[in-house]
Amino acid sequence: MPLDSGLVDVVTKGSIADAWSVTIKKVLEISSRPLSLGSVPHEVVKRDREIGDLDLLLSSSSWDLWQAFSGTVERNSTKLLDWWAKPFSAKAVLILDGLSLRELPWLLQGAQDHGLSVHDVSANASEMPGETDEFAQALGFGSRSQLQNNSGGSAHKLQPAHTESVDLPWKDCEALISGASHQVFWHHWPDSKVHDGAGAGQGLALLARDAASQLNHEEFWSFVKRMATGRRLVITSDHGYAATGYFPDAEGELGQFLKKAFSSGRCTSGVKDAGPFVPPVALQVSGPHGAHLLALGRWKWKNQGGYPTLTHGGLSLLEVLCPFIELTK
């Protein structure tokens, strides 16, 4: 579907703030459309390709917007900490590791079906690069594992929360919720599934089916309702993921550069050569997590052992935008 000419005009000719605002609004609009179990994974793949048109626009004629991304789009960690500081008497955060905007419809529909009120839905920026440890560090933890069994101590920024981090079935997770008024629970799904399915052909189709199953399961919603009982609840993520199995192949000199720069990943630390390509295929970024070179746009390349079909850490919309949903029971 061709991009709306008005949107293209704002992205290519408007201010940086307006360009990112309309882009994120469009991605959120596409991602929020209701899904039915019968349309998975076809509809998820279709939406991914529709958002790919925006990725192409940003990585070709408007790639300079990515240089301003971190300074223009609110970071999800910042939004979460600002929300945590609000004077709710009891609150909870459920971080689903690697949750992308693709899974948003199931959460919105499920909340309605299970008697939960939705107060806020937004899409915010991951850390740069979009990795798990960077998000944990932005919240004051050394790593995700520090949340397990409330072992984060008193240095993190989500005080006085009881914290947990596991990769267990939802029913077992429900039993881990304490009676504390403030809770933070970091579950390893769907990122664990992203990496499990990364080498399995068109991994997005497999993950779309799994997401539909997980997020429509009564045990998941029983767990969510337990967290939301007497508490204001946010469901969010640390980063999204790129469905690289559907990205075009980078051939020749381009492919060789990307292979040398990133191997089978999407980012590398330090100040590195961004290559001679115009428009660029990699951008150097610096921020709270240091200097990194990030793959830009939708490319995959031949690499020893094959290139993963699902991954994260680079610059494409669905890997750097995090859903943020605020709920009450």
pLDDT tens, 126-172? 999 999 999 999 999 999 999 999 988 888 999 999 999 999 999 99
What is the 8-class DSSP label of residue 63?
A: T
Angstrom distance (rounded) from CA 77 to CA 138? 6
Q: DSSP string of 168-235? A: --HHHHHTT--S-SEEEEEE-TTHHHHHHTTTSSSHHHHHHHHHHHHTT-HHHHHHHHHHHTTSEEEE
Q: Are 90 and 182 in contact (CB under 8 A)?
A: yes
pTM of the model: 0.96
Q: Distance between CA 110 and CA 213 in Å, rounded?
A: 12
Distance (Å, rounded) from C-alpha 87 to C-alpha 238?
Answer: 24
Q: What is the pLDDT of residues 106-128, one digit of tens each?
A: 999 999 999 999 999 999 999 99
More reliable by pLDDT, 36 or 202: 36
Phi, psi of 250 (to 5 degrees): -90, 120
Residue pair 261/276 in contact (Cβ under 8 Å)? The answer is no
Q: 306 or 279, which is more confident? A: 279
Per-residue model confidence (pLDDT) at position 306:
80
pLDDT at residue 199, rounded to an integer:
59
Burial label, 145 (beta-carbon count in 10 A; 0-12, 13-18, 19+): middle
Q: Domain spanning 75-242+318-328: which CATH class is it, in words? A: alpha beta
pLDDT for 122 equals 98
Q: Which residue has the tokens 């605020």?
A: 326
What are the backbone angles phi and psi of residue 281, rounded to the nearest 5°? -115, 0
- The mean pLDDT value of the chain amounts to 95
Strand 162-166 relative to strand 182-187, pairing: parallel
The residues, ordered by sequence, that sit 6+ positions from 64 with a Cβ below 8 Å of its Cβ are none
What is the DSSP pairing of strand 232-236 with strand 91-96?
parallel
**Max Cα-Cα span within the chain:** 59
* Helix ranges, 63-164 (H): 64-67, 69-72, 76-84, 104-113, 132-138
pLDDT score, position 303? 86
pLDDT of 44 higher than 70:
yes
DSSP three-state, residue 80 = helix
Residue 26 makes CB contacts below 8 A (sequence gap 6+) with 7, 54
Q: What is the pLDDT of residue 87?
A: 96
| The CA-based dihedral angle spanning residues 262, 263, 264, 268, taken in that order and rounded to the nearest 10 degrees | -30
The angle subtended at Cα 99 by Cα 61 and Cα 6, nearest 5°, is 30
Where exactly are the structural domains of the chain? 75-242+318-328
User: How much of the chain, in percent, has pLDDT values that exceed 70?
Assistant: 98
- Determine the angle formed by the axes of helices 42-59 and 16-32, rounding to 10 degrees: 170
Q: Coil, strand, or helix at residue 328?
A: strand
Residue 315 buriedness (CB in 10 A; 0-12 / 13-18 / 19+): buried
**Distance in angstroms (rounded) separating the CA atoms of residues 192 and 194:** 5
